Amino acid sequence: MKVFPDDLLYNREHTWVRVEGELATIGITDYAQENLGEILAVELPEVDSYVERDEPFGTIESAKGVFELISPVSGEVISVNEDILDDIGIINSDPHDTGWMIVIGMKDLEELDDLLDSREYHDFVLKEAEGG
C-alpha cells in the first residue's frame, strides 16, 4: 500500500489539499491516479470561478472512463496548473507535487476539519481496495 504525505489532507473522493494560510492547493492522490491508469484528458475550472466543497470542480478521463473531481473545500479558484495542460502525464508521475491541479482561496477554514489525515486516508483506501 502506498504512503501518503503527512503534510496533506484528503477527502474520500481521492483529492488532496495542501494548506498554506487561506490557500488550498488541490490535486488527486497517488492511489487515485494508479486506479485510473493513464490519464488522457483533464478539464479544470477557470481562474476566478467558484467551487463548492463536495461538488465537482473538474473532470478527468483515463482509458477506464470519465471521473469527476470533487472539491474538498469551497472557495475561489486563484490559479490553475497550466503545466498539466501541456503535459498531462505529470498527474500520473507526480500526483502529490508537480501534478497539482488548482489553488483555491478558501472561504471557510473549518471545512478542513472534516478531511482525513494521511493515516485516516490510508485506512480508508485500504478498506476500499478490499471492497469494504
Partner 1 sequence: MIWRFIPYKRLNAFENMATDEALFRENQLRGAKPILRFYSWSPPSISLGYFQETSKEVDIEECRRCHIDIVRRPTGGKAVLHEHDLTYAVIAKDNNPLFPPDILGTYRVISGCIADALSELGIKTEMSVDGRTSGQDSLKAACFSSPSQYELLVNKRKICGSAQVRSRGVFLQHGSILLDFDPVKNCALLLPQHGNRGRQIENLRKSVTSIYEHIGTEFSVDKICHVLQRSFEKKLGIELVEGGLTMEEEILMIQLMKDKYTSDKWNIEGKGTLYGS
The residues binding partner 1 (CB under 8 A) are: 13, 35-36, 40-41, 43, 45, 49, 51, 54-59, 61-68, 70, 128-132
Of the pair 5, 37, the CB lying nearest partner 1 is at 37
Q: How far is the CB of 44 from partner 1 (least distance, A)?
A: 10
Give yes or no for a contact between 74 and 108, defined as CB atoms under 8 angstroms apart. Answer: yes
Q: H-helix or E-strand containing 110?
A: none
* Helix (H/G/I), strand (E/B), else coil: 84: helix
Q: How far is the CB of 131 from partner 1 (least distance, A)?
A: 5
Of the pair 77, 90, the CB lying nearest partner 1 is at 77
Q: H-helix or E-strand containing 31?
A: helix 30-36
